[in-house]
């Protein structure tokens, strides 16, 4: 695709007023948002006003920043000044929570994030909800806004348990009085600050007269409260997203806020990502008509429903891998998607965390680094082990402070040591392929002792007593720490639908149960249906939906009706 389509051009040239842009999957939302951002900045008359483009993942933010810089370079204009591109949570944290929320929190200092592992949080609990259950930690409390009231609840794998509002609010506010907040409660305090301080709303709206939000179907109830407050104060809000991809109902993000933002929404209705066969499936499931920009491709490309044995999923995955490679598609840009993270982990070869206490955190760090390639998570877990158990009288919030060198410059020497430890399986955290209860734990004790000595030398922080007990082999198996294969060694990526949201992939195998299949075929009226819609709209060229073989014959007609065909016989040309 070159240039902008007519629909995209209409968004670009629209007046500087509140807009809603309803965009189907693959319709060029990123491209449209970046061009609109540059145009709004160009037309903005307020000399000190800024424009913000916000999204929900660091991956999306990095893409926006690169594309915006490239667009500015192509136009020979400066990309700097008066533009902020960030995640919505990072944006409100930097501009509202940290500099201002301490006043409504009644805290003596700027607000600070707690990870949940800090020892002092043991005193921030609610009574057990039932006999024999553990106390409820403040780190597990979620919050949403219902009817202009805050509702506190627990989330048990998507099932919400509402808490006594008075008790939960008192606990949250007690943590607030020392300046602490969790990721979830940070939104609560942003809402409180904006609602209670009119002057803050006015100053913020003056500084950010234009705010654009991508993936706006993911805006939760607390974030809606923040945006509504800013809109009332004068900020112009533009929302871009696909209501049919609203898959966070538990947070109030079901696409309704996006749909109701404007009486006359703009539309992006042409799919530039997928071949017509896949686009037709998406349109049949959503009930939304639209166009497709790509030409059809012959089999084996297309959209298919295939049989799979739930007890032998590796067989259909291998069959899919062969189809991807035979088609000339890139396995590294293809994925097997499923609903449950437990199933995704199992298919990847992951195992449950092993060990206890600090050892458990270190084992999880080794798995994150060696199995997933996530060194940043390995660093965070190692830092939590240091704060929680391995350092004597560690500063409150140390793990979080180590992740924020800009605000805690005095800890930079410690941060460098922990990063080096987390990165290197040779000189630092032992590799997850070592046998846990022998080689790995022996090596862990050696390198942790060395790390603690280095930390004391640069910071004065001392090792906790009884390190041998803190680094015991308890609950370690006579097996590798993790059997999760390195990402580079896996035939295909395995992930949840939520984990692949927002991506474009060459090929997707979506594995479903009967319940998931029923929801998929019923359309996008429920969250389960929308999750299925997200899965089938990720691939560009090849879509397989893996259906349990016992029920496939019963569902074959319904699957064919929405465009999910039987796999063609070898040599049979089928246009997709």
Query: Which residue is it, tokens 């979620």?
Result: 142
> Which of these three, 240, 271, 302, is where a domain ends?
271
Q: Are residues 224 and 318 in the same domain?
A: no
How far apart CA 484 and CA 432 sit, in angstroms, is 9
Binned at pLDDT 50, 70 and 90, residue 572 comes out as very low
- Cβ 153 vs Cβ 161: under 8 Å: yes
Q: Are residues 54 and 26 in the same domain?
A: yes
506: phi then psi, degrees, rounded to nearest 5: -70, -50
Q: Are residues 402 and 437 in the same domain?
A: yes
How far apart CA 521 and CA 82 sit, in angstroms, is 46
Q: Are residues 12 and 88 in the same domain?
A: yes
Beta strands (DSSP E) in 47-104 are 51-55, 83-87
* pLDDT score at 318: 92
What total number of domains does the chain contain?
A: 4
Q: Are residues 262 and 289 in the same domain?
A: no
Q: Is the pLDDT of residue 376 over 60?
A: yes
Q: Are residues 475 and 498 in the same domain?
A: no
66 within domain boundaries: yes
102 within domain boundaries: no
Q: Are residues 384 and 445 in the same domain?
A: yes
CB atoms within 10 A of CB 563: 23
- Cα–Cα nearest to 187, from 86, 88, 256: 88
Q: Are residues 385 and 420 in the same domain?
A: yes
Q: Higher-confidence residue: 347 or 22? A: 22
Q: Are residues 474 and 403 in the same domain?
A: yes
Flag whether the pTM goes above 0.95. Answer: no
Cα distances from 112 to residues 44, 240, 290, 387, in angstroms, run 34, 31, 47, 16
- Helical spans, DSSP H, in 424-540: 441-459, 467-470, 497-500, 514-522, 527-536
Q: Cα angle vertex 85, ends 84, 87, to 5°? A: 125
572 CB-contact burial (10 Å; exposed 0-12 / middle 13-18 / buried 19+): exposed
- Helical spans, DSSP H, in 327-434: 341-348, 357-367, 375-385, 398-402, 412-423
- pLDDT, tens digit, for every residue of 420-449? 999 999 999 999 999 999 999 999 999 999
How far apart CA 383 and CA 200 sit, in angstroms, is 35
- Helical spans, DSSP H, in 287-411: 313-326, 341-348, 357-367, 375-385, 398-402
Binned at pLDDT 50, 70 and 90, residue 80 comes out as low
- Cβ 161 vs Cβ 154: under 8 Å: yes
* pLDDT score at 131: 83
Q: Which structural domain, as residue segments, surrounds residue 252?
A: 6-94+197-271
Q: Are residues 75 and 176 in the same domain?
A: no
81 within domain boundaries: yes
Q: Is the pLDDT of residue 484 over 80?
A: no
As a whole number of angstroms, the longest Cα–Cα distance in the chain is 74
- Asked if omega into 300 is within 30° of 0 (cis), the reply is yes
Radius of gyration of the chain (CA): 25
245 within domain boundaries: yes
For the residues 284-303, what does the mean pLDDT come to? 95
Distance of CA 153 to the CA centre of its chain: 21
- pLDDT, tens digit, for every residue of 265-279? 999 999 999 999 999
105 within domain boundaries: no
- Cβ 509 vs Cβ 544: under 8 Å: yes
Region for 463 from its dihedrals, namely left if φ exceeds 0, alpha if ψ lies in -120 to 50, beta otherwise: beta
> Chain-wide mean pLDDT for the chain?
91
572 within domain boundaries: no
- pLDDT, tens digit, for every residue of 154-182? 987 668 899 999 999 999 999 999 999 99
Distance of CA 158 to the CA centre of its chain: 16
> Which of these three, 212, 246, 271, is where a domain ends?
271
236: phi then psi, degrees, rounded to nearest 5: -95, 120
3-state secondary structure of 288: coil
Cα distances from 34 to residues 37, 72, 84, 210, 227, in angstroms, run 5, 10, 12, 14, 20
- Helical spans, DSSP H, in 246-312: 256-259, 276-286
- pLDDT, tens digit, for every residue of 496-528? 999 899 899 999 999 999 999 999 999 999 999
Q: Is the pLDDT of residue 573 over 50?
A: no
Q: Are residues 395 and 467 in the same domain?
A: yes
In eight-state DSSP terms, residue 276 is H
- pLDDT, tens digit, for every residue of 447-468? 999 999 999 999 999 999 999 9
> Which of these three, 165, 188, 211, is where a domain ends?
188
């Amino acid at each position: 695709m070159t240039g902008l389509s007519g629909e995209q051009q209409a968004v670009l040239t629209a007046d500087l007023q509140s807009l809603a842009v309803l965009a189907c999957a693959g319709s060029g939302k990123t491209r449209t948002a970046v061009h609109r951002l540059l145009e709004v900045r160009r037309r903005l008359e307020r000399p000190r006003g800024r424009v913000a483009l916000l999204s929900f993942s660091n991956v999306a933010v990095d893409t926006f920043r690169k594309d915006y810089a490239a667009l500015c370079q192509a136009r020979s204009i400066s990309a700097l000044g008066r533009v902020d591109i960030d995640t919505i949570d990072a944006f409100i944290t930097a501009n509202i929570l940290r500099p201002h929320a301490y006043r409504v929190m009644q805290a003596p200092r700027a607000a600070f994030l707690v990870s949940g592992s800090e020892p002092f949080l043991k005193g921030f609990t609610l009574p057990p909800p039932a006999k024999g259950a553990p106390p409820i930690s403040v780190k597990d409390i979620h919050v949403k806004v219902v009817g202009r009231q805050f509702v506190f609840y627990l989330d048990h794998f998507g099932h919400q348990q509402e808490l006594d509002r008075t008790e939960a609010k008192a606990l949250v506010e007690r943590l607030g009085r020392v300046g602490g907040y969790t990721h979830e409660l940070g939104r609560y305090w942003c809402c409180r600050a904006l609602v209670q301080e009119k002057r803050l709303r006015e100053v913020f709206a003056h500084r950010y007269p234009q705010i654009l939000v991508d993936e706006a179907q993911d805006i939760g109830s607390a974030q809606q409260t923040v945006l509504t407050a800013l809109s009332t104060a004068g900020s112009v809000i533009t929302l871009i997203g696909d209501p049919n991809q609203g898959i966070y109902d538990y947070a109030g993000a079901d696409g309704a806020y996006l749909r109701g933002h404007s009486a006359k929404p703009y539309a992006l209705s042409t799919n530039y990502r997928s071949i017509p066969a896949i686009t037709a499936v998406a349109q049949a499931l959503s009930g939304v008509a639209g166009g497709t920009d790509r030409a059809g491709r012959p089999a084996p490309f297309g959209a298919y429903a295939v049989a799979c044995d739930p007890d032998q999923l590796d067989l259909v995955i291998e069959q899919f891998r062969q189809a991807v490679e035979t088609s000339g598609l890139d396995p590294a840009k293809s994925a097997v998607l499923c609903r449950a993270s437990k199933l995704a982990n199992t298919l990847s070869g992951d195992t449950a965390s092993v060990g206890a206490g600090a050892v458990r955190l270190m084992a999880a760090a080794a798995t994150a680094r060696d199995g997933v390639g996530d060194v940043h998570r390995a660093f965070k877990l190692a830092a939590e082990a240091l704060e929680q158990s391995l350092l004597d009288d560690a500063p409150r919030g140390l793990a979080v402070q180590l992740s924020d060198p800009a605000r805690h410059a005095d800890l930079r020497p410690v941060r460098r040591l922990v990063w080096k430890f987390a990165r290197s399986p040779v000189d630092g955290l032992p590799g997850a392929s070592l046998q846990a209860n022998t080689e790995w734990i022996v090596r862990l004790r050696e390198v942790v002792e060395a790390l603690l000595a280095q930390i004391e030398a640069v910071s004065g922080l001392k090792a906790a007593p009884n390190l041998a007990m803190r680094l015991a082999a308890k609950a370690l198996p006579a097996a590798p720490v993790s059997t999760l294969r390195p990402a580079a060694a896996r035939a295909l990526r395995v992930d949840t639908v939520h984990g692949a949201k927002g991506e474009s992939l060459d090929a997707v195998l979506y594995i479903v149960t009967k319940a998931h299949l029923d929801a998929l075929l019923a359309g996008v009226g429920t969250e389960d249906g929308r999750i299925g819609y997200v899965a089938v709209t990720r691939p560009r060229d090849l879509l397989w939906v893996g259906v349990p073989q016992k029920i496939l014959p019963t569902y074959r007609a319904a699957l064919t009706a929405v465009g999910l065909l039987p796999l063609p016989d070898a040599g049979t040309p089928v246009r997709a």
